[in-house]
Structure 1
Amino acid sequence: MRPDLARIRRRLRFACAEAGVPADERGRLVLAVTLLAEPALTAGETVDVATAAADRRLAVTMRLTHPVSQSSRAALPLLPGPGDDETLTWHLTGGRTTAPADPDDDRATREEMLALVARADTLAQEQRDLKHELAETNSGVLAMYVDLEQRDEQLRRAHAVIFRELEDALRPRPPAVPGLELGVHYSPTDQDSPTGGDLYDWFVLPDGRVHVTLVDAVGHGVTSTRHALTVTHAIRTLALAGHPFPDLIAHASRTLAPIEPGLMATVLLARIDPSTGHARFANGGHPEPVVVTAAGTARLLPAPVPGQGVGFPDPGSRRLVDVVLAPGDTVLLYTDGLVESRKDLDEGQARLLSLAEACHGHPVPSLPRELVTRMHDVVLHADDTVVLALRRTPGLS
């Protein structure tokens, strides 16, 4: 080793001892200075190293005749503080004064290396302890996550039960009517919510005829559900009170206007006599019903004069549509979500007629679901959808 490099190393070690710098920190400083000084001294350059100690703090300044790049600074075992390219300064914190380093460079180096190894062992143990703590923490987080997943699943099941009960309350089951088979399917826009503005009601009048109300309230969510319920209940009350069938939509609109001024809904009414097959329809702005004969021919039943729904100007059906259903004939009532899934009403109604003919022999209880599944093979516009099917059966006269 060059004499001048040995003197620099001894000077650093004595300064560290006086300031109380630990051996491992001293070793990193000595090695950093050596890495910079040795090639400079070998090249014949001047290396100046100065030390200053105060209040157990040691500052070491090294000046070279050539600049030191940032990458070379970053590679040193002890990083210097900021400074110009030719000057490097280290600031070390000491403790109580330690014994002067062994003047023998090799023995001092071994002492420093042993201190560094001990420090490395300590850091390795701390790292192992930290990994263990992290593993325990991760295990706890995983257990908490599993618990939350289980609770979330319990909530989903509870919500599903509530939704089914709510659906039963909002959507009455088909009544048992001799001479008629009835089926229904509801498809919500949001599969996680049973609410929407498409609702229906059906019941048997005292004279044996079946009354059907199909409502599509403007909007979505709970508000539209409330509006649709309000309309179906109003029409049920008026119908059971004996109000004339042609006036039900207009009467309901006048009754509800002061109660629900923002309510707007299209309405389709049907009255079917199972014994004769006579069916009468009142349409307030709703998609036209479809009649499918027992032979499999389907047709729309357009109103002679278009009507308006509840909450619209001049509500009600201008004229009624009357048909006689033969045994095996089926009536399909639906909301616009069925035929507007591809954003084209005419195309949707044409597809519905074609599918109604293809499925005319399908069992009534599952026919609505079958039609919805086939009609919604492509959905460009999602909307609540209700489909009702009523088929006259043989046996009554």
Structure 2
Amino acid sequence: MTTRTLTCATTAGLTRAVRALAREHALDPAVRGRLVLSAAEAAGAALRAGRETVLEWTYDPDEGVLTVVLRTPPGGTGPVAAADLPMAADAVTGEEVVWRLPASPPPPGSAAPGADAGENAGQDAGQDFDEAALAAEELRAVVAAADALTAEHRRLKDELAETNSGVLALYVQLDERDEQLRTAHGQTLRELEDALRPPPIKADGLELAVHYEPAGTDAPTGGDLYDWFVLPDGTVHITIVDALGHGVTSTRSALNVTHAVRTLALEGHRLQSIVGRTDEILRPFDRSVMATVLLARIDPATGELWLANGSHPPALLLRRDGAARYLEARGRGIGFPLPGSETPLTERLAPGDLLLLYTDGLTESRRDPIEGEKRLIEAAHKHLQSPTEEVPGAIAEDMHTVILHPDDTLALAVRFTGR
């Protein structure tokens, strides 16, 4: 392993010397070009200041590595960063720049490249090579590398465009599939909701309408249900249930309550006993059921009204002249301590009066039930003269202009018209 040293006084002499030793060790033309540019850039400040630069190189035949050291006077290299050079240096100090490159051994009998002392250094050292040809070779190598990068960039760009096209097509397919699923899901939800609705009833002297809105769009139903039917004596029975929880699970509890109430009512049980009796029936089967209940009986011929309550919000009565009040009936709901209703509250409706039965989702959307009850009276006054079938939905829309506490909502309107 032999170390050779050369002193260079000009940039031209340095580049000729670097090019010669690179050629001697058969460096790739592109690597050679980068090394020449890096040496000229690293020593440029010192050479322009008239300071000589020492070029030193050593070839290690065991490792096949050529070590090139460019040594300048103190402060001569200037602020050179290893990664900023065309050929990144392995080490940079204030006086030295070092490159370690894989290389081939020099051919036998080769002479060291010379530096210029005012003459052509390559000729002085007997170097027989055409520097212009070598520079052209280096340029061609650089151009070839650039062309290869350009071709690779073009290929990657085409692949990316093709991939983007495929991804876009996949997104379109997924969107179409998602739309189909939404349509099917919506149809299923509507069918399920319709299946839970009791069939419409006709009773001369009464107009009935209902509005239901679940707490979330992901479930078609919740714990708020209603039931209505005509009893053998001609009176109309209405059940409003609000079971604890949301979604389809609470729907099961609400259905159990409405079915039990219907059975008891058709068997002729007194109105005030139905809530307590329903709790007795359901408790052995499902102890988790908790529900508030409001029961109403209306005689379409006379307008007589009976109300039994089980912890449910009170019904709202609006007289034809605009007078409004809540009908407070006492009782405890299904699953509550001491469930049951006290003596039913009685009232007589006059033609044009409007009775509104609802769940707490209508009045507690802003978390304040007292404020909700005041707003409900205002909304009911606003729509008192509207067609009955429009009243529940219009009132719910007014009440839900701001929703801070989403909940299942049920509103049922009964207008007494008289026979």
Of 230-239 and 74-83, the range deviating more from structure 2: 74-83
The counterpart of 2:287, out of the listed 253, 261, 267, is 261
Equivalence for 1:50: 57
Distance, in Å, in 2 between the alignment partners of 1:97 and 1:295 is 115
Query: Structure 1 CA distance, aligned partners of 2:207 and 2:334?
Result: 29
Alignment-derived partner of residue 191 in structure 1: 217
| Secondary structure, counterpart of 1:177 in structure 2 | coil
Q: Which residue of 1 aligns with 2:157?
A: 131
In the alignment, does 2:99 pair up with 1:90? yes
1:129-181 CA deviation, whole Å, 9 max, x = no partner?
11111111111111111111111111111111111111112233432333221
Could you say if the C-alpha distance between residues 104 and 222 of structure 1 is closer, same or farther in structure 2, counting changes exceeding 3 Å? same
Alignment counterpart, residue 352 of structure 1, candidates 376, 384, 394: 376
Distance 2:16 2:177 in 1: 68
Does the 8 A contact of 1:179 with 1:275 survive in 2?
yes
Residue 401 of structure 2: SS of its match in structure 1? coil
State the alpha-carbon separation in 1 of the partners of residues 266 and 305 from structure 2: 18
Contact 1:284 1:307 in 2 (8 A): yes
Q: Which of 128, 133, 152 is the equivalent residue of 1:107? A: 133
- Kept in 1, the 8 Å contact 2:224–2:409? The answer is yes
Aligned length, in residue pairs: 391
Which whole-Å CA distance do the structure 2 matches of 1:207 and 1:62 have between them?
114
**Relative to 1, partners in 2 of residues 1:29 and 1:265: Cα closer, same or farther, differing over 3 Å?**
same
- The equivalent residue for 2:34 is 28
Question: Could you tell me how far apart the structure 2 residues matched to 1:85 and 1:271 are?
Answer: 102
Contact 2:81 2:92 in 1 (8 A): no
The answer for the alignment partner of 2:71 in structure 1 is 63
Which has the larger Rg? 2
Residue 322 in structure 1 maps to residue 346 in structure 2: yes
Q: Which runs of 5+ in 1 are unaligned?
A: none
Once the two structures are superposed, what CA deviation does each residue of 1:85-114 show, in whole Å capped at 9, x if it has no partner?
A: 54433343468999x997333332222112
Displacement of 1:265: 0.9
Report the Cα distance in structure 2 between the residues aligned to 1:85 and 1:223, rounded to whole angstroms.
Answer: 78
Instruction: Tell me which of 258, 275, 287 is aligned to 1:249.
Output: 275
Which amino acid is the alignment partner of residue 76 of structure 1?
Answer: L
Range moving further from structure 2, 208-217 or 190-199: 190-199
Residue from 297, 310, 314 that aligns with 2:334: 310
CA distance in 2, matches of 1:88, 1:298: 96
- Residue 240 of structure 1: how far off its partner (Å): 2.2
Structure 1 vs Structure 2 CA RMSD: 2.6
Distance 1:382 1:337 in 2: 7
Residue 389 of structure 1 deviates from its aligned partner by 0.5
**Could you tell which deviates more after superposition, 56-65 or 311-320?**
56-65
Task: State the partner residue of 2:115.
Answer: none
Summarize the Cα distance change of 1:221–1:9 in structure 2 as closer, same or farther, 3 Å threshold.
same
The farther-off stretch of 175-184 and 123-132 is 175-184
Q: Distance in 2 between matches of 1:367 and 1:96?
A: 99
Question: Which residue of 361, 372, 380 maps to 2:404?
Answer: 380
Determine helix, strand or coil for the equivalent of 1:25: helix
Secondary structure of the equivalent of 2:201?
coil
Maintained 8 Å contact 2:82/2:92: no
Whole-angstrom CA distance in 2 between matches of 1:210 and 1:118: 93
Quote how far apart the aligned CAs of 1:10 are.
4.4
Deviations 1:43-100 (A, max 9, x none): 31543332425455444333343386776433321212355454433343468999x9
State the identity as a percent.
49
Distance in 1 (alpha carbons) for counterparts of 2:53 and 2:316? 103
Output the CA distance in 2 between the equivalents of 1:154 and 1:69.
69
Q: Deviations over 1:344-364 (max 9, x none)?
A: 211211121122122111111
Question: How many Å apart are 1:197 and its aligned residue?
Answer: 1.5
> Residue 77 in 1 paired to residue 82 in 2?
no
